[in-house]
Amino acid sequence: MNGRRIAFLAAVVTTAASGYYFFVYLTRWEWNRALTSGVIMLAAEVALFGGLALDRIGRLRTTLAGAAVADRPAGAPGRRDRVLARLEESRPRPRDHFAWLAPHRTNVFVPVLLGAGVVVSAVAWVVERVARATAGRQMERGLALRLEALAPPDALVAAEADPFSLFAPVRTGAS
């Protein structure tokens, strides 16, 4: 006798005994005791019904599982596999968040590229302007500092013959 059967028998005995004493106390005019017995009977009934319902559900589940296995031909996919395949069929396609960057779609990419070119050109123009205004003299000073070591000694060269004058740019139109 397993535990489930013992619990079932206990619930049946409790229901029967409490129901019997419910009427006994009623006929004795002992209302408080009758109420207590009634509550115990109801609780035992609920437990009994719940146990029977759960037991029946468990049996149905076992029966259905067994029938599904028995109906399946050898090598055929099981019920779970079929459900899984159906779910995979109905799965939505993954969304391509950068479809507008696809090579065959230039209607969006070209304007963006042109716009980016304009912006980058504007930034470059500003940078060039700032560099021309600020970095010219500083760069020339640094260059003179480095070329100073290449200059011939003053004792070898006449003061009027400045070798660097050969590299001086000829400015046309200068007076």
Partner 1 sequence: MKRLALIGTVAVGAWFSVGAIGDATQTRADERHADRRTEVVVHVEGRRYRQPLDVAAAALYSACTATVDGRIVEPGIVDLGGGDYSFAITPSLGRHGRERLLGCLRDLTVERVRSHVVSVEERALG
Q: What residues make contact with partner 1 under the rule CB under 8 A?
A: 23, 26-33
> Taking the complex as a whole, how short is the minimal distance between the CB of residue 70 and partner 1, in angstroms?
40
| Whole-angstrom distance, CA of residue 54 vs CA of residue 8 | 12
Residue closer to partner 1 by CB (options 23, 49) is 23
Q: Hey, what's the torsion of the CAs at 159, 165, 166, 167, to 10 degrees?
A: 140
Q: Where do we find the tokens 């468990």?
A: 58
CB 22 within 8 A of CB 38: yes
Residue nearer to partner 1 on the CB measure, 11 or 18: 18
Shortest Å, Cβ 25 to partner 1: 8
Residue 39 or 143 with smaller CB distance to partner 1: 39
Nearest-5° Cα angle at 78, 77 to 81:
80
The smaller minimum CB distance to partner 1, of residues 28 and 79, is found at 28
Give the nearest distance from C-beta 37 to partner 1 in angstroms.
Answer: 12
If you ran DSSP here, which 8-state letter would residue 159 be given? T
Least distance (Å) from partner 1 to the CB of residue 16?
16
